[in-house]
Structure 1
Amino acid sequence: MKKLVAMLAPLCLVLTACATTDSMGTSAAGTTTQQLGTVALKIAINTKCTTELNNLPAWKTATKLMTTDQKTNVQGEICGCVSDKAPQSITAVDIATAALDPSARATIVANAVTKTINACVAEAVR
């Protein structure tokens, strides 16, 4: 029974978001909710990116000769890129699931960062 509720909860959340009727209208409410979810995911993605980047042996080697400011600037550029591109690989169902389940959120964020970090490092190196 608990598994059924856990599976139906994200679906209900998504469906009720579509049925919202308030003074803003359904499209404005849905857009606002989606924007808030995306901002929250971007923050989580940026944090995960920073952690992942600092754990990469290649990053540690590449930044040994950089000043703290240089390292911070490059890290900000890379993780900014990841924060912008990673949400594109996350579905609406993933966003709903992430809102309800912290362990799922961590997995979704980790997968999104993994998919985009290498491309962003390559962009920053150019």
Structure 2
Amino acid sequence: MAQCYESEQLHMLEEAIKCYKRAANCNDTEAIALHRLAELHREPSHPEEAAFYYKKVLERMEAEEREVPNTVEALTFLATHYKTQERFEEAEVYCTRLLDYTGPEKETAKSLLRGIRIAQSGFPSI
């Protein structure tokens, strides 16, 4: 139902969010509803809500001791978000977790960590 509300034809995002919230509170074992909630809140005016739902996605993964789809996306968003908020310790936690992956996400994590170190040192970034 939420996907229908989300479609280009209807574009009823508030209704889609309500449906995804109901699904997340039910049997959302794959954290699909949580992930969609995070994506819908990624708008510039809602980054804290997006962070909240991405954290929930990761909590679900940890509780079930398995990796859920979009783990890398969640870790990248949270690392970037907390760096932007100058909450460097939290950003470092997510960057460190990203270092366990291969490919571009590992390089992203390294770059974010360099930026965090520069910001913490008080030197302007280049």
TM-score (norm 1): 0.27
RCO greater where, 1 or 2, for CA within 8 Å and sep 6 or more?
1
Q: Which has the higher helix share?
A: 1
TM-score (norm 2): 0.27
Larger Rg, first or second structure (1 or 2) = 1
